[in-house]
A and B are shown apart, each in its own frame.
Chain A
């Protein structure tokens, strides 16, 4: 057996895996990729943030509508009240 055969036999010799190797491979196969969890978290956060921003926008719009409506109705009633007061005097 020359040196080449010896090197090949050594390289191709059967080696037993380290203890727990099988378990670690199986566990990794069943583990979800970390990026998927991160992406899902970002999407949920974006969704929640978007929902909050949309709610805030709608609330501000409704508030402006109420204020304008009260401004219009109130000013008409105030005109009536001023007119009546003027008539009384």
Chain B
């Protein structure tokens, strides 16, 4: 029974690692953070969740449409009470995995007196977008996201505007 269980767990872990396009290695920050969000949603979970999204709700309808091309969502986000909750090296370990030719950084911004950094990386395979990585850091906040599949960045950004933040004027 035990070998079967080990095999099943191994297969599950392998499937998870395969679906996620790079490792976060940020678990050690959870105990230091005052607030954290850790989500791993593979294709089947996304399809399952999609059935519960209400098409009559404008936000849920947008998300429902957006997740059609997405095969996985993996996000770890941490908030700290004090500055220095994470080390710059934590983000470097993630960044070092995003190598060319698959990965390319499409944009990187620094704002708020260079206290806020956001990098958006895109994974291309045979001319097709197959994944997005978002690395966002503030003195007391760290977020790493990996969206697997064909991600509509424009729609996702618009969604961010709808979710409380002011929508960008076009």
Contacts and interface: CB of A to CB of B under 8 A. Distances in A.
A83 B37 CA distance: 25
Interface string A61-89: 01101111111111111111111110000
B109 A73 contact: no
A58 B47 CA distance: 13
Place the interface of chain B in its size category. Answer: 35 or more
Centre residue among B48, B134, B160, B168 by max chain A CB count within 10 A: B160
Given A59-B48, A67-B63, A70-B156, A78 B161 contact: yes
Contacts of B107: 80, 84
B18 interface: no
B156 A74 contact: yes
A82 B60 CA distance: 23
B160 A71 contact: yes
Contact of B153 (A58, A69, A75, A77): A77
B147 A73 contact: yes
Contacts of B51: 59
A41 interface: no
Interface residues of A, number: 26
A70 B63 contact: yes
B5 interface: no
B19 interface: no
A58 B158 CA distance: 28
Given A68-B39, A79-B118, A74 B75 contact: no
Is chain A's binding surface mostly helix, strand, loop or mixed?
helix
Nearest to B135: A76
Contact of A71 (B49, B116, B147, B163): B163
Contact of A79 (B53, B145, B147, B165): B165
Interface in A5-21: none
Contact of A73 (B52, B145, B166, B169): B145
B53 A66 contact: yes
Interface of A: 58-60, 62-63, 65-85
A-B pairs, 10 with minimum CB distance: A74-B160, A78-B160, A62-B49, A77-B157, A74-B159, A59-B52, A63-B52, A75-B160, A83-B109, A71-B163
